[in-house]
Amino acid sequence: MKLNMNVQKLFRRPLFGIFLLFGIIAVSTSWVCIATVDSQLSEEYESNSRGIAQTIADASVDIILNRDLSALQSLIDQFLEIQGISYIYIVNEDGEFLAHTFVPGIPGEILASDPANIDTVERVLAGADSYVEVGSPILAGVAGSVHIGMDKSVITLKIQQAVGRQMYLISSIFLVGIVAAIMLMNLAARPVEHLLTYAVQLARAEQEGGPVPGALLERDDEAGQLARLLLYFSRVADPEKAGALARPEAS
Amino acid sequence: MRALTRRKFLRASILGGLAASWFGRGAALAQDETGGSPAGFHEGISDDEILLGTSAAFSGPSRGLGIELYRGAQACFARVNERGGVGGRRIGLRLYDDGYQPVPSVQNTMELLLRDRVFALFGYVGTPTVTRVLPILKKFQEENVYMFFPFTGAQPQREPPYGEFAFNLRASYREETAGLVENFLRIGRRRIAVFYQADAYGRSGWAGVREALGARGEQIVGEATYTRGAAYGRGMGEQVEILRDAGPDAVICIGAYGACAAFLRDAIDLGLEVPIANLSFVGSENLLQLITDSVDDSERYTRYLVNSQVVPSYEDESIPVVREYAELMDRYRPEVPEPLRQPDYVPFDRSFVSLEGFVNAKMLVEILGRMGDSPSRDRLEQAVFTVRDYDLGIGEMVSFSEQRRQGMQRLYYTVVDRGRFVPLDDWRARFG
C-alpha cells in the first residue's frame, strides 16, 4: 500500500498542535531530568568525596605526625585515580600545603582561599574547569585539613548522557507518532475527499445532464448522509427533479 | 541510575584499584634472565643459583635509569658468576619492566614473589614505585622478603613502618637536599625554589628542602610541579614562569632527566639564570646528553647546572671501586636482555647510575657470601647486620645494624665542564 504523507489542509493545525505538544513534553521532561540528575549526581559525588576526604584525613594523622610526607603524597595520588576527583591537597594547621596534586603549581584562587574552610565551595580555576571542593578536618582540624576537588564537567557529561538518551527516546516516539498521526488523519480525511469528488461529479451531472454517481449515496455513514443531502439540495434547486428525491433512499 | 552509597563507592574504588593492579598486566614485560623454571626453587635458592627479582624502568621517559642501574649491577654479577658464583651458586636476576609506574611495579612484585619465588628484591627504581611495593613486603614479612638497595633516597623505606623490610646503601634525599641547601646558603643564595615531580619522589625531595631551609630559618620561596613521565620534548615554560615570579637565587629540581633537562633548557631560554641543582636520581649523563644533543651552545645552559651524587665520579680511578667498575664494564659490556632492550637507547660507557648499580651489586654479593654454603631468607637480615666498617673500596666504610639500615652517607657534587661532569670543589667560585 502506498503511504500518502501529504497532510490534508484540514488537519494541518491539529498536526501543528501535536508538534507543539511533543515539544512541550520534550522540554519539560528534559528539564526535570537535568534537574534530577544534576541534583542526585552532585549530592552523590559530594557525599562520596566527603567520604574519601574523611578516609584520607583519618589515614593522614599517623603520616603527618610520624612519617615522611612522601607517604602522604603517595596516599593522595592513589585516590586521584578515582573518576571525577581532579585535585587533592592537604594543609597543616598553619595553612601550609603539605601535599597536593596540582601541576604546574597551586592555583592562585586556592592559595588565596581560607585553607581552614572545609565547607563545600564551588571554584572556577583560571585556565581550567569548574570544580566542587569538599574538605575534611584532620584530628578535628588541629592537624590541618584535606580538600578534594571534583570536576563538574564529569557531572555535566553524565547529565548530557542522561538527557541525550531521553531525547533519543522522545524523538523516536515523536517520529513514530507523527507518521501514525498523518496516516490516521489521512484515513479520517478520505470520506471528506470522496464527498468532495462526489459534489464535483454531481455538479457536473446537473450541468451536463449526465448520470448521477450513486456509490457514495449507498453508504450508511455520515459521508453517505451528506451525499444524499447534497443530492437533495441539488434537486430542491431544480423542482423538476424533486420527485426523484425519494428514489435513492428507497433503493 | 543506581545510587552508590559512600561505603560501597569507597569499597569499589579500593577493590577496583587492587583488581586493576593485579589483573591489568599491560605495561609489564618479563624477562627470565636465568632461563630456568621456578620449579626446584625454595625461597629463590636452588643448588646452583640464587634468584633475585627486579622491577625497574626499562621503557618510557625514565628508562635510562633502570637500564644503567641494571648494567652496572650486571657487570658485577657477571664477574661473580664467571668465578663460580656465591658459595657455588650463580646469581640470577629476573627482570620486569614497570616503566617507572606504581601499578605495574606492584604487579611485577607480586609476580616475583608468588610465581618466580625470588630470594630477595634488588635494584628497584623510583620512589612512587617503591613506596607502593613496601606494604607488600610487610604482608610477606613472615617469609622474610627483603628489598635491597633501591635506587631512591626517599624516607618510606628508611623509617617505620616499612623501614625494617628494606636495606639502603645510598644517601637519602633528605641528606642530598640538606647538602644542596647548606651549600647554597653558604654562598649567600638564600631564596631557594623547588621544581619537582608531582608524586611521592617529588614530595620527598620537597620535604627535604623544606626541612633543611626551616632548620636555618628560611622557607621555600616558590614551587612548581610537573607530571611524572614528562619527556624532554614537553615545554616547561609555565613552571619556569611560576618560579621566575618568585625571584629565586637557586632552584632545586627533584625529577627525572627528561623533565629536568626540559626545565633547564626553558629556564635559561626564559632568562631564569640561577644555579639549577638536581638530585642523584636525575640520571646526570642522560640529562646532559639531552641538552648537548638539542641546543647549539650547550655551555650556556650547563654552566648553571649542579648535580648531587651518591657515588664518586666514575672517572676518578684513584678510587678502587671505580677502577674495578671501569674494568668490568669494559670487559663484559653488559646489556639489557633482548625482550627488554630498547633499540633506540644507546647505553653509556660509564655513568653515575651504572656505578651505583655496580656498588649495590658488590655489596649484595658480600652479604650473600656471609651466609656461607646454606643461604636462606631467615638468615639474610642477620647476615646484613654482620657488615660493620666494611671497606667497599669507595672511600667510605659501610655498616649496617638494626638501627642503621642505610650503608653510606657521603655526597658528591658535580658540575659540567667541557661536556663532562667533574667534581665541584668551590661553590663560591662557581656560583657565588
Residues B89-101, mean pLDDT to the nearest whole number? 96
**Facing A73 at nearest CB: one of B3, B200, B236:** B200
On whether the CB atoms of residues B66 and B28 are closer than 8 A, the answer is no
CATH number, domain of B365, equals: 3.40.50.2300
Structural domain contains residue B405:
no
My answer on whether B283 and B426 are in the same domain is yes
- Do A88 and A147 contact (CB within 8 A), yes or no? yes
- CATH code (residue A34): 3.30.450.20
Contact across the interface for B203 and A51, Cβ inside 8 Å: no
How many domains are contained in chain B?
A: 2
Cross-chain residue pair A70–B159, CB shorter than 8 Å:
no
Which residues of B fall within a CB distance of 8 Å from A47?
A: 6
In a domain, A246, yes or no: no
Annotate B178-187 with b (16+ C-beta within 10 A) or e (fewer). Answer: bbbbebbbeb
User: What confidence tier does B174 reach under pLDDT thresholds 50, 70, 90?
Assistant: very high
Q: Do A68 and B154 touch (CB under 8 A)?
A: yes
CA distance B349 to B334: 10
Average pLDDT, chain B: 91
Three cell numbers written together for A74: 603517595
B2 Cβ under 8 Å from any chain A Cβ? no
Does A207 reside within a domain? Answer: no
State the average pLDDT over residues B77-81. Answer: 98
How far apart, in whole angstroms, are the C-alpha atoms of residue B169 and residue B367? 12
Shortest Cα distance, chain B CAs vs residue A30, angstroms: 16
Residues of A in contact with B236 (CB under 8 A): 104
Over residues B142-151, the mean pLDDT reads 96
Q: Do A78 and B226 touch (CB under 8 A)?
A: no
| Minimal Cβ distance to A70: which of B131, B225, B242 | B131
- Sequence-distant (6+) residues with CB within 8 A of B223 are A105, A106, B193, B194, B195, B196, B206, B242, B243
**Can you give the residue range of the structural domain that contains B355?**
13-170+317-398
Which of A28-37, A49-58, B407-416: highest mean pLDDT?
A: B407-416
ipTM beyond 0.90?
no
* Residue B209 lies inside a defined structural domain of this protein: yes
Give residue A215's Cα distance to chain centre.
50
A179 belongs to a structural domain: no
Cell triple for B313:
665520579
Neighbours of B208 (CB within 10 A): 30
Q: Is A197 a domain residue? A: no
**A71 falls within a domain:** yes
Q: Do B227 and A103 touch (CB under 8 A)?
A: yes
Smallest Cα distance from A188 to chain B, Å: 43
Domain shared by B288 and B366, yes or no = no
Q: pLDDT tens digit string along B243-288?
A: 999 999 999 999 999 999 999 999 999 999 999 999 999 999 999 9
pLDDT of residue A3: 54
What is the distance between the alpha carbons of residues B154 and B203, in angstroms, rounded to a whole number? 9
Q: Is residue A53 part of a domain?
A: yes
B-chain residues near A90 (CB < 8 A): none
Q: Is the residue at B2 inside a domain? A: no
Q: Which domain holds residue A145?
A: 9-159
Identify whether B3 is part of a domain. no
Residues B237 and B278 placed together within one structural domain of the fold: yes
Number of domains in chain A: 1
Q: Identify whether residues B425 and B283 lie together within a single domain.
A: yes
Pair (B177, B159) in one structural domain: no
- Flag whether B384 is in a domain: yes
Residue keyed to cell 519539560: A28
Asked whether residue B77 is assigned to any structural domain, the reply reads: yes
Q: What is the rounded CA–CA span in Å between residue B242 and residue B248?
A: 11
Q: Is residue A176 part of a domain?
A: no
Check residue A182 and give its pLDDT.
Answer: 84
Region A133-158: mean pLDDT is 91
Q: What does pTM read for this prediction?
A: 0.80
Same structural domain, B184 and B258: yes
Is residue B153 located within the same domain as residue B186?
Answer: no
SS3 assignment, position B53: strand
Q: Per-residue DSSP letters for B67-107? A: HHHHHHHHHHHHHHHHTT-BTTBEEEEEEEE-TT-HHHHHH
Chain centroid to Cα A58, Å, comes to 42
Cβ B201 vs Cβ B281: under 8 Å: yes
- Asked whether the beta carbons of A166 and A30 are under 8 A apart, the reply is yes
What is B7-18 written as a DSSP string? HHHHHHHHHHHH
Per the DSSP assignment, residues forming a β-bridge with A131 are A123, A151
How do residues B292-329 score in pLDDT, each as one tens digit?
999 999 999 999 999 999 999 999 999 999 999 999 99
- Is B365 part of any domain? yes
Cβ-defined contacts of B327-333 (< 8 Å, 24+): B328/B75, B328/B76, B328/B78, B328/B79, B328/B358, B329/B71, B329/B72, B329/B75, B329/B354, B329/B358, B331/B75, B331/B79, B332/B74, B332/B75, B332/B78, B332/B79
- Taking the CA of residue B416 and the nearest CA in chain A, the distance in Å comes to 28
- C-alpha triplet B129, B131, B133: angle, nearest 5°: 70
Residue in B146, B200, B201, B148 with CA at minimum distance from that of residue B176: B201
Q: How confident is the model at residue A243 (pLDDT cuts 50, 70, 90)?
A: low
Query: Exposure string (b/e) for B350-374, b if CB count within 10 Å is 16 or more?
Result: bbbbbbbbbbbbbbbbbbbebbeee
Question: Are the beta carbons of A189 and A8 closer than 8 angstroms?
Answer: yes
Give residue-wise pLDDT tens across range B30-46: 444 434 444 455 689 99
B271 and B380, same domain (yes or no): no
Do B285 and B424 fall within a single domain?
A: yes
B29 touching chain A per CB within 8 A: no
B419 and B385 part of one domain:
no
Cα B123 to Cα B202: distance, rounded to the nearest angstrom: 20
B153 and B232 in a single domain? The answer is: no
Asked whether residue A85 is assigned to any structural domain, the reply reads: yes
Q: Which residue of A has its CA nearest to B152?
A: A70
**Residue with more model confidence, B7 or B418:** B418
Convert the pLDDT of each residue in A89-116 to its tens digit: 999 999 999 999 999 999 999 999 998 8
Give CA–CA dist B146/B371, Å, rounded. Answer: 15
* A contact test, residue of B18, B131, B203 with most A CBs within 10 A: B203
Assign 3-state DSSP to chain B and report helix, strand, coil percentages, each to 5.
45, 15, 40
Residues B256, B183 share a domain: yes
Residues in A whose CB is inside 8 Å of some CB of B read: 37, 40, 44, 47-48, 50-52, 55, 66-74, 77-79, 81-82, 99, 101-106, 162
Whole-angstrom distance, CA of residue B397 vs CA of residue A237: 133
Does any CB of chain A come closer than 8 Å to the CB of residue B177? Answer: no
**Interface with chain B: mutation pick from A72, A74, A97, highest number of B CBs within 10 Å:** A74
Three-class SS state of B248: coil
